[in-house]
Chains A and B, each alone.
Chain A
Amino acid sequence: KNQVEQSPQSLIILEGKNCTLQCNYTVSPFSNLRWYKQDTGRGPVSLTIMTFSENTKSNGRYTATLDADTKQSSLHITASQLSDSASYICVVTPYSGAGSYQLTFGKGTKLSVIP
């Protein structure tokens, strides 16, 4: 069964500090992995996308890493800001030649950045 597990479930950090969120997946075969940010009351917004051949991808203060051998990914947030408070969701797209593009979502990590 394809699964995506994220840790921690929630995290509180001080403004300006760095943090790292973890994602383990069992999805196989695998097409790509994305990290989404979801603000309260809004839909998820894509931050990064990586294929199995990529090890790292950056988007401003967000850096995602991927180890396809161990099926692990992380999202590192540098110099956190209050606006980073949100849920961060790891999403894996299974590879399918049959035209199916079902995304497999993790439950997300709820990040709270406090002053």
Chain B
Amino acid sequence: EAGVTQFPSHSVIEKGQTVTLRCDPISGHDNLYWYRRVMGKEIKFLLHFVKESKQDESGMPNNRFLAERTGGTYSTLKVQPAELEDSGVYFCASSQVPGGLGDTQYFGPGTRLTVL
């Protein structure tokens, strides 16, 4: 069974440019999560999809970030325009059952974003 995949693995862009990150969850997982780790800090929650609907987007830092999950399969996270403080590693995770003991979130390898 294929795990969670993310593309690209690395992205280097200049301040003001736009970047789109993609996440393909494990097949059949309705729940998809985006997280971010800024250097020196802990991983932090960004948002949670259930199928194509945003269940919780309280962790999104500002309106420069836009997440979509059309059709309830893969998801994209767009940053427009990118700022220096957006640099970090963006993780995607998916799970079958949200919360509780039944929910094991499987993480992708992350996308390392560097904004110059």
Contacts and interface: CB of A to CB of B under 8 A. Distances in A.
A45 B106 CA distance: 7
Tell me if A's interface is mostly helix, strand, loop or mixed.
Answer: loop
Contacts of B31: 101
B99 interface: yes
Assign chain A's interface to a size class.
Answer: 20 to 34
Interface string B92-106: 010000111101111
Nearest to B104: A46
Nearest to A38: B107
B41 to A, nearest CB: 7
Contacts of A102: 45, 48, 56, 58-59
Contacts of B72: none
A60 B106 CA distance: 20
